[in-house]
Structure 1
Amino acid sequence: MTTLMGDESRVAQIDKYRVLVEPPRADLLALVDVAAQVAQVPMATINLITDTEQHQIATHGFDASVCSREDSMCALVLHAGAPVIVPDATQDPRFADNPFVTGVIGNVRFYATHQLVTPEGVVIGTLCVFDEVPRTLTDEQEQALVSLAARVVDLLELELRTRELKRSNEALAAFAGQVSHDLRNPLTAVSMSLKMMDEEIDGDEDLAFLLKRAIGGADRMQSLIDDLLKFARVGGELQRGPVDFAAVVRDALEDLAVPLSDATVMVGDLPTILGDAVQLRAVVQNLVANAAKFTRAGAPPHIEIDSSRTGERWRIVICDRGPGIPEDQRERVFLPLARIDEEVEGSGIGLSTCRRIIEAHGGRIGLADAPYGGTCAWFELPEG
């Protein structure tokens, strides 16, 4: 019964990673190449073992295949809990009659393997290196095999989490769009009614004060709904064309003339990149607006905008001299509705919208320390 439950857990874990139904992944192929080089052997493989079969999902030095679990060498030592190193498999009673050793399937002599253990503690397979001549591993090579096995699981987990995050973001975007749409019409009616009442009031200062507060709240809610709709809509089909970032910045600065009225803004040389001009302008305007909002007490905004090129990518950087963002918060602020300073006006949607736009363009976005204190918001985009 224990074996059955173990098999069920392992099969469930393997199914989550989806590597048995998709083409060999380049990152896993690269990793088995490294394993073979480190062990100085001609062959290496990542084996995932189900209840009935062994699947070679990435190989070096030979073609991948599927065999029955009964024929698998790795299945025999799947729960060893430590590296298994066999200098000559013909001399080891566990493997001497195995078809991978006898010549029926292969002629393995040297064999070394380490288990692949998921974060939940489930052993799903092995990272295996082998040769057709007897040999052994040094202590350093053995430790490298252990480390590389852990990296296999890291890569599987990273792809799984990326897929789950994408699905979650898509669901969140759909939800945000539906809720925003449903709220927009009744809120518009409430806001219009409040404003009409405000126009009719004459002399009642207390009532006028309450109405203005209500109107302000309705306007802020309308702004939040508009932000949610933008978040739900961006990042879809892009209307690509040349985007002159110098012109984009000029337009953004003009639109933000009021919050930037006492700001110092320095703009360097900026490139022209292929992309969606409307969506990328929204990114620049949002990042510049943030730089204008987050300032040190008593200090006017100081903003520097510049670019640099690395390989086939351009990096646009917008730096301020504000209070900065703690390093452990720099990823969280890109989540929808996440905010650092509740006293600064905003919906918490802007940075998450920027990330959706930049990632839709095949780029990256992040935050870093500014040279003179404050924060540098940056994004990278491919040239074409």
Structure 2
Amino acid sequence: MTDLQGVARTEAIADYGVIGTGRDTGGGFDEDLQGLVEIAAQVCGVPQAAINLIDHREQHQVATVGLEPSVCSTEDSMCATILSSPGPVHVRDAREDSRFASNPFVTGAIARVRFYAASQLRTPAGVVIGTLCVFDEEPRELTAQQRRSLDILARQVVDVLELLRTSRELRRSNDELAHFAGQVSHDLLNPLTALTGFLEVVGEQPAVTQDPVAGPYLGRAAQSADRMRLLVDDLLDYARLGGRLRLERVDLAAVCADVLEDLSARVARTGATVEVDALPTVTADRVQVQAVLQNLVANALKFRRDDQPARIRVGAVRVASGWRVAVDDAGPGVPEHLREKVFGLLERGSAVAEEGAGIGLSTCRRIIDAHGGRIGLDASTDGGTSAWFVLPDRD
């Protein structure tokens, strides 16, 4: 018969990634667990204490006081016996308790435990994965305050484990993003390099550069290519470094002007109208914020209603925490139940998004999150989409 509780414990413990030879949790979590077990021993006035994680086969001591961390079978573990108990356990003399009298930690086969107290380690999902226990070779009692303190420390052990799990997930996410960045760098940079080379060749032809119409367009194309290379390089560096920002004072009006310059051909081709209200100066990473704004304006140009010319307004309002910047359009909009989903990697808002790779909004959220801000989608007053982000004050 399968031990369902044991399987659930094993899966929950594995999710924390805290068991294994050569383990290094990083971020100081080992020290945090050790500190909590030391506090437990001090508060309870005992020479020995342990944090035990118990899977379906073994008990693993991940932090101890007064003894070397070890592993034993669940059959030998005192703590495994009380995992299904309704609450904390407090035993003055284990020799007098039927649950423990024949246990090898009590009889002398492994140790000579007399006093024993334990509080369960219960995950947010309700799975009991082990205990924080204190013990002594002499019978003793804990006060009500000491018992309460042991319960509080047990909850803090779980808090540390949860932080460890979250940290591991973030590191894995960063690793995946770095791998993704490496994969797409070839696809992004090679065509851009080819375009730059073509512009350089064309730029060597006097008939083109001296032409009153073609010459200025060629210069603008070269400037856009340079900005795009900077944007791609910085975005890839940003992904590989896990979101490191270069903060400075950024004039969003100037940034928006560069965005519209880069998108001018698309604006002209589609007959779109773009209105820009007064925009503030903020503290941010200029290149990253430009990437966000360019993505939102490009989406507004792309997702228009029945091939009608897009109508777009870019504006900002002061809010309690900083500045809220919005790109409003009159397009088909995004259904409310999809407004969060489209921020997922490779998600598309609707079937009309066939020409897009769908990675833009995911990157935008990552950038705004790194700034300590928020980003989302609402309905615009014209029935389309209002794509907004908040940049917090940093002064």
TM-score by length of 1: 0.57
Say whether the 8 Å CA contact 1:316–1:380 is kept in structure 2. Answer: yes
Equivalent residue in structure 1 for 2:130, among 125, 131, 138: 125
Equivalent residue in structure 2 for 1:76, among 56, 75, 78: 78
- Structure 2 spans left out of the alignment, 5+ residues: 107-111, 136-140, 199-224
What does residue 160 of structure 1 align with?
168
CA distance in 1, matches of 2:130, 2:24: 12
CA positional deviation for 1:95: 6.2
1:293-304 aligned at under 5 Å gives the runs 293-297=302-306, 298=308, 300-304=310-314
Render the CA deviation track for 1:185-219: whole Å, top value 9, x for unaligned: 789999xxxxxxxxxxxxxxxxxxxxxxxxxxxxx
What does residue 213 of structure 2 align with?
none
What does residue 378 of structure 1 align with?
388
- Structure 1 spans left out of the alignment, 5+ residues: 58-62, 191-221
Residue 23 (str. 1) matches residue 65 (str. 2)? no
User: CA, structure 1 residues 228+76, in 2 after alignment: closer, same or farther (shift >3 Å)?
Assistant: farther
Cα RMSD of the aligned pairs, angstroms, is: 5.8
CA distance in 2, matches of 1:128, 1:118: 21
What does residue 284 of structure 1 align with?
293
Render the CA deviation track for 1:241-262: whole Å, top value 9, x for unaligned: 2112233234434554562854
SS of match in other structure, 2:326: strand
Mean CA deviation greater in 232-241 or 316-325: 232-241
Matched letter for residue 255 of structure 2: V
User: CA, structure 1 residues 293+87, in 2 after alignment: closer, same or farther (shift >3 Å)?
Assistant: same
Equivalent residue in structure 2 for 1:305, among 287, 312, 315: 315
Say whether the 8 Å CA contact 1:113–1:127 is kept in structure 2. Answer: yes
CA positional deviation for 1:267: 2.6
Residue 367 (str. 1) matches residue 376 (str. 2)? yes
What does residue 316 of structure 1 align with?
325
CA distance in 1, matches of 2:18, 2:125: 11
What does residue 263 of structure 1 align with?
273
Mean CA deviation greater in 278-287 or 325-334: 325-334
SS of match in other structure, 1:279: helix
SS of match in other structure, 2:377: strand
Q: How many residues align?
A: 321
What does residue 214 of structure 1 align with?
none
SS of match in other structure, 2:316: strand
1:67-146 aligned at under 5 Å gives the runs 67-68=69-70, 76-78=78-80, 82-86=84-88, 88-90=90-92, 92-94=97-99, 111-116=118-123, 124-126=129-131, 132-134=142-144
What does residue 284 of structure 2 align with?
275
User: CA, structure 1 residues 377+330, in 2 after alignment: closer, same or farther (shift >3 Å)?
Assistant: same
Say whether the 8 Å CA contact 1:339–1:348 is kept in structure 2. Answer: yes
What does residue 236 of structure 2 align with?
232
CA distance in 1, matches of 2:358, 2:288: 18
User: CA, structure 1 residues 318+233, in 2 after alignment: closer, same or farther (shift >3 Å)?
Assistant: same
CA positional deviation for 1:23: 1.2
User: CA, structure 1 residues 86+341, in 2 after alignment: closer, same or farther (shift >3 Å)?
Assistant: closer
Render the CA deviation track for 1:6-27: whole Å, top value 9, x for unaligned: 8997875553687755413999
Identity %: 32
TM-score by length of 2: 0.56
Render the CA deviation track for 1:50-87: whole Å, top value 9, x for unaligned: 85642359xxxxx99975457x9x95344766454246
CA positional deviation for 1:88: 3.9
SS of match in other structure, 1:85: coil
CA distance in 1, matches of 2:256, 2:183: 32
What does residue 248 of structure 1 align with?
255
CA distance in 2, matches of 1:84, 1:348: 49
Matched letter for residue 24 of structure 1: F
SS of match in other structure, 1:303: strand
CA positional deviation for 1:172: 0.8
CA positional deviation for 1:177: 1.2
User: CA, structure 1 residues 178+107, in 2 after alignment: closer, same or farther (shift >3 Å)?
Assistant: farther
CA distance in 1, matches of 2:32, 2:377: 28
SS of match in other structure, 1:325: coil
CA distance in 1, matches of 2:30, 2:339: 30
CA distance in 2, matches of 1:322, 1:80: 61
CA distance in 2, matches of 1:149, 1:54: 13
Equivalent residue in structure 1 for 2:179, among 171, 179, 190: 171
Say whether the 8 Å CA contact 2:16–2:162 is kept in structure 1. Answer: no
CA distance in 2, matches of 1:65, 1:301: 71
Say whether the 8 Å CA contact 2:377–2:385 is kept in structure 1. Answer: yes
CA distance in 2, matches of 1:188, 1:249: 23
What does residue 212 of structure 2 align with?
none
CA distance in 2, matches of 1:85, 1:355: 43
CA positional deviation for 1:168: 0.9
User: CA, structure 1 residues 56+105, in 2 after alignment: closer, same or farther (shift >3 Å)?
Assistant: farther
